């Protein structure tokens, strides 16, 4: 694995991740809350005891949001089965400022990504579908293209942003190197109108992809290959 050196990241210390879907009541809030849970566990694994907000902020919005509405009841039920709640959630409309401010934009589908890029062209390189990002990050890790950070004084909360931006750059560079078996395989289907099982499938897809890019993020945070292998078995 390539080894990189930590560099200061201007403007803020926390890594900003924005999840996007249509109404911001099903797919993106589920992805948001599951990513928060994954990142919280990641911080513990790399020895960080600070609150997640010191290192990362994960939020969500919709391209045609049901502004102010709570999460869909079945989405909440699916999250509950993962030990995650919907406390305080309200749907938001995605804005240009949100997309431009985010270090990483993860969308439910290719169309959502296209909508985000139309809204905020400067976010094009750091915007992906959730499935696409997991696939590209996996490829970058397997191909040895992720730089491992080696801070002299140990991992600090701000290093999560450095690692996240390095992972995003590696995934962007991997575009065209690996493709899904069919384009639609980079999308997460809308569970709206389905039953609880449909929402469970949506949550399972989101947590699997979050688990995969969290494994790659741990690689950027300087965990050894043995630990990565062990963690992959537990995903």
Q: Which long-range contacts (CB under 8 A, 24 or more apart) does 113-118 make?
A: 113/20, 115/20, 115/63, 116/20, 116/63
3-state secondary structure of 129: strand
Does residue 114 have a pLDDT over 80? yes
The winner for highest mean pLDDT among 3-17, 93-107, 161-175 is: 93-107
Q: Mean pLDDT throughout 18-35?
A: 98
Asked if 139 and 177 touch (Cβ cutoff 8 Å), the reply is: yes
Task: Report whether 55 contacts 157 (CB < 8 A).
Answer: yes
User: Residue 170 sits in which domain range?
Assistant: 3-233
Residue 154: band (very low, low, confident or very high) from pLDDT cuts 50, 70, 90: low
Q: What is the mean pLDDT of residues 219-234?
A: 47
pLDDT score at 232: 39
Q: Look at residue 150 in the predicted model and tell me its pLDDT.
A: 55
Structural contact between residues 58 and 39, judged by C-beta atoms closer than 8 angstroms? yes
Among 28-32, 39-43, 110-114, 119-123, which stretch is predicted with the lowest mean pLDDT? Answer: 39-43
- List the CATH number of the domain containing 57: 3.40.50.2300
> Does residue 232 or residue 125 have the better pLDDT?
125
- Say what the pLDDT of residue 168 is: 94
The stretch 55-69 carries a mean pLDDT of: 97
Number of domains forming the structure of the chain: 1
Residue count (the chain): 235
Q: How far is CA 4 from CA 15, 76, 146, 163, in A?
A: 18, 40, 9, 10
pLDDT category of residue 211 using cuts at 50, 70 and 90: confident
Q: Is the pLDDT of residue 183 over 60?
A: yes
Structure-token pair, residue 54: 């010191």
Between CA 167 and CA 112 the distance in angstroms is 21
Q: What's residue 4's pLDDT?
A: 33
- Measuring CA to CA, which residue among 93, 87, 96 is closest to residue 36? 87
Q: What's CA 16's distance to the chain center, in Å?
A: 10
Note the pLDDT of residue 48.
Answer: 84
Task: Give the sheet arrangement for strand 127-129, strand by strand.
Answer: 56-62, 15-21, 104-107, 127-129
What pLDDT sits at residue 67? 98
Say if CB 2 and CB 170 are below 8 A apart.
Answer: no
Q: How far apart are CA 74 and CA 34, in angstroms?
A: 15
Write down the H helix ranges in 71-158. 73-80, 96-101, 110-119, 130-142
Residue with tokens 């990189």: 4
CB under 8 Å to 204, separation ≥6 — which residues?
A: none
pLDDT on residue 214: 85
Beta bridge partners of residue 50, listed in sequence order: none
């Amino acid at each position: 694995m390539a080894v990189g050196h930590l560099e200061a990241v201007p403007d803020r210390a926390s890594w900003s991740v924005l999840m996007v879907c249509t109404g911001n009541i099903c797919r993106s809030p589920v992805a948001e809350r599951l990513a928060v849970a994954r990142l919280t566990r990641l911080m513990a694994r790399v020895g960080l005891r600070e609150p997640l907000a010191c290192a990362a902020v994960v939020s969500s919005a919709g391209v045609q949001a049901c502004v102010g509405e709570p999460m869909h009841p079945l989405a909440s039920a699916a999250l509950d089965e993962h030990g995650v709640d919907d406390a305080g959630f309200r749907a938001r409309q995605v804005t240009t400022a949100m997309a431009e401010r985010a270090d990483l934009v993860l969308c439910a589908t290719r169309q959502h990504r296209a909508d985000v890029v139309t809204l905020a062209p400067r976010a094009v390189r750091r915007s992906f579908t959730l499935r696409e990002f997991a696939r590209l990050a996996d490829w970058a890790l397997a191909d040895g293209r992720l730089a491992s950070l080696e801070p002299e004084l140990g991992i600090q909360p701000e290093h999560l942003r450095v690692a996240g931006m390095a992972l995003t750059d590696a995934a962007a560079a991997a575009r065209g190197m690996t493709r899904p078996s069919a384009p639609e395989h980079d999308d997460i289907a809308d569970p709206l109108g389905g039953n609880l099982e449909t929402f469970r499938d949506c949550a399972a897809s989101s947590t699997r992809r979050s688990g995969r890019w969290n494994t790659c993020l741990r690689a950027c945070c300087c965990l050894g290959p043995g630990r990565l292998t062990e963690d992959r078995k537990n995903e």
